[in-house]
Each structure stands twice: as structure tokens, then as C-alpha cells.
């Protein structure tokens, strides 16, 4: 097999997004602890301005990445959410019950673990939501490394849980990470919002005007004090699944955007936010309540929250495990849900703005996510291999037909 074909095959695999994320984070760690560290920090602090007659936006590059590029990331998440709600895994409420409650448990318990370490520290208590998130790309990437050993239903369970987890993170950002609210800009945001609704109602085929309206909405939301990444999610929900010609703008945009997000935007975000300067961290800093609360929430809280909620629902008869999935599979999946990375780093950047706390956040997220990934991989590798047997009901149906 040639190098080109091997590289092409790797890029098409589900593990590729997680691998690229890992490489970007590792590169950030290396640069942040090398003689290039001053240049790395200077690059992230470079002011980038978009001005007309002296009025406009002027922000450091790191904020353009976290507020701007991540709005595109959330736009893609919004497209995936809408598609799954209309025609996918979130369409049938019965299929959402088990992973939905598991996602809730997987958000609540990590937050409680974090507060157990930081509840009495006023300067760090606001970071309670950091370990509540799951990184879809990383978690699915680790699962993909196991190949066909894992049941297909386990991947569906993980994807549904992670999608609902992202939905919960969006709600948390909207409710708890909004700064001072400027109602004048919020009222002006209703103009592009109304135009987006009108285009969606008409089943508009062209996407470019919708994207332009979404960009205007992003500026209005940014100036209102609400985090602008929410504009990405809102815009996505106004991309028609079916236009007036019977075509699907949503599918087309999602397909065109996915590679750019997971192979460019998310690695850029990881490189900009994962640069932990270990030289500035003492042992006391690494074992302080902030990184311990984050790592503990991701490693212990996610396991307890996801596994215990799933176990309680199944034992109560309110749901049942997907076909081919054992309790060891659920345990391994609970560990993979503790890979916070992108979303955890993002919420951390909203929670703190000083260098020391951000460094501690990065250390807690990276260490907790790494431990969760290794644990999940090892547990699932030792789980029973997936079988090709059909569900019991399908077997009975086939027997009835042949009788």
C-alpha cells in the first residue's frame, strides 16, 4: 500500500479526527514548554481588527478562535442536532430515553465532584461545568480504534449521549456564561433572526444569504453579551432539511463543512488552548482544587454518572440495554464520556481569564481526558467481541417465516 493511499485511508477513518486533535494538543504542549513559548503566546495575543471608520471588532487572535471559529464548530453541531431530531437517532423518543438520562447523569455528577473540591473556593467555583462535557471526535475516535470488536449499537449509544451532552453544554453556556446583557443589540438581533425564519419558511435553496444573516446575527449576539457561539447553533436550525425543490441544503452544508471543522477548526482550537506551560506550574498547582476537581469530574464523575444512571433505569425496567451491549461495554463507554477536551477547554476559557487558572484548567482537562481515554480503551478491549447475531425478535420472525 502506497503512502498516499494509506494517508487517504487514515483520513477517511473515524479515528482520524481524534488522532489529529491529539497531535494538535501535543504540539501545543511541546511549543508552550520550548524556547518558542514567547512567540506562541505573542501569536495568540496578536490583535486582529475588523473596522469601518474606526468602529468594529478588535480582539486578540485567541478570542477570534474561541468566539469566531468555534461558532462554526457549533454551527456544525447545530446541523447534526437538527438532522438527528428530524430523521435520525433523536427522532424516536424511546431511543433517546436511556442515552438521554445517561447524558444528564454524566453532566450532573461530574459537576458535583468538581464542587466537592471547589465549592468553598469563590475564585474557582464558577468552573463547575468544565467536566460536564464530552468530546464527540475524541470519544468516537477511541471507539473506532477498537474496530469491529464493539457492537454497532454501542457507537449509536455513544453518539446519542454525546449529541445530547453537547445540547446540554449549549444550554449551560446560554444560562450561566452570559456576561452583562445589552438589550439594544439583543433587540437588533431579532432582525436577522426574522429574516432567517422567513427564508426557512419559504424553503430557500440558496445557503449563502442564510450564512450572511448568521454572520450578522453572530455580531449582534456578541455585542449583546451572550456568548456568540450560540448564534452558530441558531443559524444551523434555520438551514432547511428540505427546500422547495425537494433537495436538502442541510445535508449538503453538513457534508461540505465536516472535514473543515474536524480537520482544521478543531485542531486550531486545540493548538491555541492546550498549551500548558508546565514550567509555570508547581506540584501544589497541579494538585490544587481546580485541576483535581476537573480531572476527578471527568474520570470519576462521568463513570459514576453515566453508568449509575444507565444501571438504575435498566434495573427499574424503564429501559433496556441495546442489542449486543453488556455492562462492561457500558462501563467502558462511561469512561470514554470522560474525554472532555474540546468542550471542556472551551467552557474553561469562558470560566477564567487569568493565566494561572487557565493553565490549571488545561492541565486538569488534558490529564482527566487522557486517563478516561486509556481506561475506556482498555475496558472495551477486554469486553466480549461483537457478534453478528440478530436480535431475539428478528430470530423469532425468521423462524416463523421458515416454519
**Residue 2 confidence (pLDDT):** 54
Would you say residue 265 has pLDDT above 50?
yes
Q: What is the mean pLDDT of residues 212-222?
A: 92
Each residue's pLDDT tens digit, 55-83: 778 888 988 888 888 889 889 888 988 88
Q: What percent of the chain has pLDDT over 90?
A: 39
Distance CA 137, CA 124 (A): 28
Would you say residue 398 has pLDDT above 60?
no
Q: What is the mean pLDDT of residues 170-195?
A: 86
**Residue 299 confidence (pLDDT):** 96
Q: What is the mean pLDDT of residues 114-122?
A: 94
Q: What are the residue boundaries of the structural domains of the chain, listed by start?
A: 36-387
**Residue 386 confidence (pLDDT):** 63
Least confident window among 119-123, 125-129, 282-286, 371-375: 282-286
Each residue's pLDDT tens digit, 331-367: 999 999 999 888 898 899 889 988 888 889 989 998 9
**Residue 312 confidence (pLDDT):** 96
pTM score? 0.77
Would you say residue 52 has pLDDT above 80?
no
**Residue 214 confidence (pLDDT):** 94
Fold of 36-387: Na+/H+ antiporter like fold (1.20.1530)
Please provide the average confidence, as pLDDT, over all residues in the chain. 84
Distance CA 45, CA 322 (A): 48
Q: What is the mean pLDDT of residues 185-190?
A: 91
Q: What is the mean pLDDT of residues 85-114?
A: 88
Q: How confident is the model at residue 401 (pLDDT cuts 50, 70, 90)?
A: very low
Q: Considering only residues 231 and 167, tell me which one the structure prediction assigns the higher pLDDT.
A: 231
Q: What is the mean pLDDT of residues 308-320?
A: 93
**Residue 143 confidence (pLDDT):** 82
Would you say residue 391 has pLDDT above 50?
no
Amino acid at each position: 500500500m502506497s503512502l498516499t493511499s494509506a494517508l487517504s485511508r487514515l483520513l477517511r477513518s473515524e479515528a482520524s479526527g481524534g488522532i489529529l486533535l491529539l497531535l494538535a494538543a501535543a504540539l501545543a504542549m511541546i511549543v508552550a514548554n520550548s524556547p518558542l513559548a514567547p512567540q506562541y503566546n505573542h501569536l495568540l495575543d496578536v490583535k486582529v481588527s475588523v473596522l469601518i471608520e474606526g468602529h468594529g471588532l478588535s480582539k486578540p487572535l485567541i478570542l477570534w478562535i474561541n468566539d469566531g471559529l468555534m461558532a462554526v464548530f457549533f454551527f456544525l453541531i447545530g446541523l447534526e442536532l437538527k438532522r438527528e431530531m428530524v430523521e435520525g437517532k433523536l427522532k424516536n423518543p424511546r431511543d433517546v430515553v436511556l442515552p438521554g438520562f445517561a447524558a444528564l447523569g454524566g453532566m450532573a455528577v461530574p459537576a458535583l465532584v468538581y464542587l466537592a473540591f471547589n465549592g468553598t473556593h469563590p475564585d474557582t467555583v464558577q468552573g463547575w461545568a468544565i467536566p460536564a462535557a464530552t468530546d464527540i471526535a475524541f470519544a468516537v475516535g477511541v471507539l473506532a480504534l477498537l474496530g469491529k470488536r464493539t457492537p454497532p449499537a454501542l457507537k449509536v449509544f455513544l453518539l446519542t449521549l454525546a449529541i445530547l451532552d453537547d445540547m446540554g453544554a449549549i444550554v449551560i453556556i446560554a444560562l450561566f456564561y452570559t456576561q452583562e446583557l445589552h438589550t439594544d443589540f439583543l433587540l437588533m438581533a431579532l432582525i436577522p433572526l426574522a429574516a432567517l425564519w422567513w427564508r426557512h419558511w419559504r424553503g430557500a435553496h440558496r445557503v449563502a444569504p442564510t450564512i450572511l444573516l448568521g454572520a450578522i446575527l453572530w455580531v449582534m449576539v456578541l455585542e449583546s453579551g451572550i456568548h456568540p457561539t450560540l448564534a452558530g447553533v441558531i443559524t444551523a436550525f434555520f438551514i432547511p432539511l428540505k427546500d422547495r425543490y425537494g433537495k436538502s441544503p442541510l445535508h449538503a452544508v453538513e457534508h461540505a463543512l465536516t472535514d473543515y471543522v474536524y480537520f482544521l477548526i478543531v485542531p486550531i482550537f486545540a493548538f491555541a488552548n492546550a498549551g500548558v506551560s508546565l514550567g509555570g506550574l508547581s506540584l501544589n498547582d497541579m494538585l490544587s482544587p481546580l485541576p483535581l476537581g476537573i480531572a476527578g469530574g471527568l474520570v470519576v464523575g462521568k463513570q459514576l454518572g453515566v453508568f449509575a444512571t444507565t444501571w438504575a433505569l435498566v434495573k427499574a425496567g424503564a429501559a433496556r440495554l441495546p442489542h449486543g451491549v453488556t455492562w462492561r461495554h457500558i462501563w467502558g463507554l462511561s469512561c470514554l464520556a470522560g474525554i472532555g477536551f474540546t468542550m471542556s477547554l472551551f467552557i474553561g476559557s469562558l470560566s477564567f481569564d487569568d493565566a494561572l487558572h487557565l493553565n490549571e484548567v488545561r492541565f486538569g482537562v488534558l490529564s482527566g481526558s487522557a486517563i478516561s481515554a486509556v481506561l475506556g480503551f482498555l475496558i472495551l478491549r477486554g469486553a466480549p467481541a461483537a457478534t453478528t447475531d440478530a436480535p431475539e425478535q428478528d430470530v423469532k420472525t425468521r423462524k416463523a417465516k421458515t416454519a
